[in-house]
């Protein structure tokens, strides 16, 4: 009895010590953020054996990094070699070295950095130029062609490129157009300062076009004389085009004769793109017109993708194939375009060529991998013996310092830090290590980490970890009431929240089923929950009740078509209806691929692919629908 009581006391004491140290870490973190080195040192003394002690050491060194000796910094980098803290400290140090033009030290440390982002890349090109490395400036030139604002470290680099004649006036106008196309008027104005004399962008006119593009075009349509006038007019047309194709085209019709053939080609391509997004039947004609000018403005991969999607909806297989073959090599290797190319080759009777694409694609476990398997006549079959990691493998991974740090952050509810540490730690893991790490995450309730980690395996898989099913007992009764497919609901929750019950999105979506506040209030009223308050939507049972009721509602609206209901759940019923074809029925896969919102298109494909996998994991009978059957045919409006 005494031994038992002593054991309980030890457990209590260990828990109390851990809680106290956790409080010390939070206090140390706040001291670091406040720049209070003295208070940080007090807490550091108490945290020497804590899993997050290396972070405290990082905080201490970071506060005086500008004055620390290279030997001190390198001692830290060596002590925490290959850790996220070492990466962050090296990154911070490299910025200091570059600003002080300590290029010799910079050259030694920069290759050891794992994530070489733009700010440091610009410094690295400066270092290579200052040390006389040939070819550095020619490589750096590609950084210029960016629509968005770049770090200050790039400005001296661009000055060098301009001085050496490696950025021309035409390059400057190209970047101005890139910036204006995505609405980055501040970037366009900044870049314009590199132009000389009367060639510069007229910022007063640009501001007028921003305020009222329609009025600007009405007042300026007979006064388009300079390069600045043309670029601002094109920008004004693009502003109108964001909301109204017909109004924009009417204004373009009035001024198009004042533009060169290549500028006309450029804008026609953008008309075609917007029309394709709106499922406007003029899209393909405008794409054709854009390509027929001489010279023509090259279509980007984004525009070619929407040309292919517009052609899919029109049933123009030849244009789909042409669009795919004009994409960059990397874009053509995306699963979407491999699948549709194979479908077209199959339609053309080129079965061997089609199968040469479909067979390797069928080994992938995503939406198009599943469709490829079905096209080959192979039903989804998760391996009968999913790889099971041993207790020893799990214990070994759990003791990995990076995993311990991530678990400590998770315990402290520092979710962002936990995710970063986890992602860093597993980046070089093999399949067995990944599955062991996924199991650790699962045991600690880090369901998002468990799923994302299990998703990374290449040859050894465990689909029970990829497709976790928490809260199944809670959900079972609710699903019976609503008569919903369990696999579909789990497929949707997996995509919505990765089963994190207390998550809240930046848009305000809440809980497991990511309910928007207005939707939750409406459903609560339908269910007679008269004492509803927003905090209830974060409770697991209430969230599932509200979410499944709304899911059943949209499913009924769309005649039990899970494809349309999934789109409606994400983007609203009105949009899901609007995305149907006006005149003809559509193959479900074409409807899904031509959803104009990137988020919803990706969401719908993932939800339905998840559904097929969950049906297998849940061992639903062999009559469970295939992905092709679930996609079905979408009737015309």
Query: What are the residues whose beta carbons fall under 8 Å from the beta carbon of 556, sequence distance 6 or more?
Result: none
Cα(129)–Cα(266) distance, rounded to whole angstroms?
Answer: 36
What is residue 110's predicted lDDT score, i.e. its pLDDT?
98
Average pLDDT over residues 311-328: 98
- Give the residue numbers annotated as catalytic, written as ranges: 496
d(CA 588, CA 605): 11
**The pLDDT value given to residue 21:** 83
**How many alpha carbons lie under 13 Å from residue 309 in its C-beta half-sphere?**
28
* Residue 3 pLDDT exceeds 90: no
C-beta separation of 456 from 434 below 8 A: yes
- Where does the pLDDT of residue 359 fall: very low under 50, low under 70, confident under 90, or very high at 90 and above? very high
Question: What are the tokens at 186?
Answer: 């501040």
Q: Are 217 and 237 in contact (CB under 8 A)?
A: yes
Mean pLDDT, rounded, of the chain: 94
Question: Can you give the pLDDT at residue 198?
Answer: 75
Backbone angles phi, psi at 246, to 5 degrees: -65, -45
- The percentage of residues in the chain with a pLDDT greater than 70, rounded to a whole number, is 96
Average pLDDT over residues 478-507: 96
- Three-class secondary structure assignment of 344-406: HHHHCCCHHHHHHHHHHHCCCCCHHHHHHHHHCCCCCCCCCCCCCCCHHHHHHHHCCHHHHHH
Q: What is the DSSP letter of 504?
A: B
Task: Check whether 383 has a pLDDT greater than 50.
Answer: no
């Amino acid at each position: 009895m005494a031994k038992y009581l002593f054991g309980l006391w030890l457990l209590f004491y260990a828990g109390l010590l851990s809680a106290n140290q956790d409080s010390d870490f939070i206090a140390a973190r706040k001291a670091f953020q406040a720049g209070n080195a003295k208070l940080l040192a007090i807490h550091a003394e108490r945290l020497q054996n804590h899993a997050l002690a290396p972070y405290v050491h990082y905080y201490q060194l970071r506060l005086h990094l500008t004055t620390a000796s290279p030997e001190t910094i390198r001692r830290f980098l060596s002590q925490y070699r290959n850790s996220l803290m070492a990466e962050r400290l090296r990154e911070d140090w490299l910025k200091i070295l570059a600003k002080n033009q300590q290029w010799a030290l910079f050259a030694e440390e920069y290759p050891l950095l794992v994530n070489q982002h733009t700010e440091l890349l610009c410094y690295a090109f400066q270092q290579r130029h200052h040390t006389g490395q040939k070819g550095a400036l020619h490589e750096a030139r590609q950084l210029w062609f960016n629509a968005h604002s770049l770090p200050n470290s790039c400005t001296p680099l661009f000055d060098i490129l301009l001085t050496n004649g490696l950025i021309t006036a035409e390059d400057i106008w190209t970047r101005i157009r890139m910036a204006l196309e995505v609405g980055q008027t501040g970037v366009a104005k900044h870049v314009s300062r590199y132009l000389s004399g009367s060639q510069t962008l007229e910022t007063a006119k640009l501001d007028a076009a921003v305020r009222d593009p329609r009025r600007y075009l009405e007042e300026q349509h007979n006064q388009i004389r300079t390069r600045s006038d043309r670029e601002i007019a094109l920008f004004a047309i693009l502003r109108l085009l964001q909301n109204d194709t017909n109004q924009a085209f009417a204004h373009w019709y009035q001024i198009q004769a004042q533009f060169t053939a290549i500028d006309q080609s450029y804008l026609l391509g953008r008309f075609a793109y917007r029309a394709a997004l709106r499922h406007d039947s003029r899209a393909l004609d405008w794409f054709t017109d854009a390509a027929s000018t001489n010279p023509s403005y090259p279509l980007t991969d984004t525009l070619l993708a929407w040309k292919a999607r517009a052609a899919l909806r029109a049933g123009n297989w030849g244009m789909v194939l042409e669009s795919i073959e004009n994409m960059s090599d990397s874009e053509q290797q995306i699963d979407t375009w491999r699948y549709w190319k194979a479908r077209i080759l199959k339609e053309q009777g080129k079965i061997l060529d089609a199968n040469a694409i479909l067979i390797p694609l069928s080994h992938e476990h995503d939406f198009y991998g599943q469709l490829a398997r079905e096209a080959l006549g192979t039903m989804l079959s998760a391996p009968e013996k999913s790889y099971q990691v041993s207790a020893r493998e799990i214990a070994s991974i759990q003791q990995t310092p990076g995993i311990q740090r991530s678990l400590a952050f998770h315990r402290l509810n520092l979710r962002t830090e936990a995710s970063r540490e986890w992602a860093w730690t597993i980046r070089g893991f093999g399949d067995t290590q990944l599955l062991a790490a996924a199991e650790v995450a699962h045991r600690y309730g880090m369901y998002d980490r468990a799923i994302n980690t299990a998703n990374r395996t290449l040859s050894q898989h465990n689909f029970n970890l990829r497709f976790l099913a928490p809260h199944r007992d809670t959900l079972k009764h609710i699903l019976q009431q609503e008569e919903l497919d369990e696999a579909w609901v789990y497929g949707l929750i997996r995509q919505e929240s990765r089963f994190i019950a207390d998550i809240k999105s930046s848009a305000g979506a809440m809980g497991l089923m990511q309910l928007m506040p207005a939707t939750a209030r409406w459903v609560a009223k339908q269910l007679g929950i008269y004492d509803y308050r927003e905090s209830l939507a974060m409770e697991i049972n209430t969230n599932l009740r509200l979410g499944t009721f709304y899911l059943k509602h949209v499913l009924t609206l769309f005649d039990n078509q899970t494809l349309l209901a999934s789109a409606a759940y994400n983007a609203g019923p009105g949009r899901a209806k609007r995305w149907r074809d006006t005149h003809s029925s559509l193959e479900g896969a074409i409807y899904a691929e031509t959803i104009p919102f990137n988020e919803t298109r990706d969401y719908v494909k993932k939800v339905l692919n998840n559904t097929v996998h969950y049906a297998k994991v849940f061992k639903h009978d062999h009559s469970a629908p295939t992905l092709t059957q679930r996609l079905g045919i979408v009737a015309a409006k």
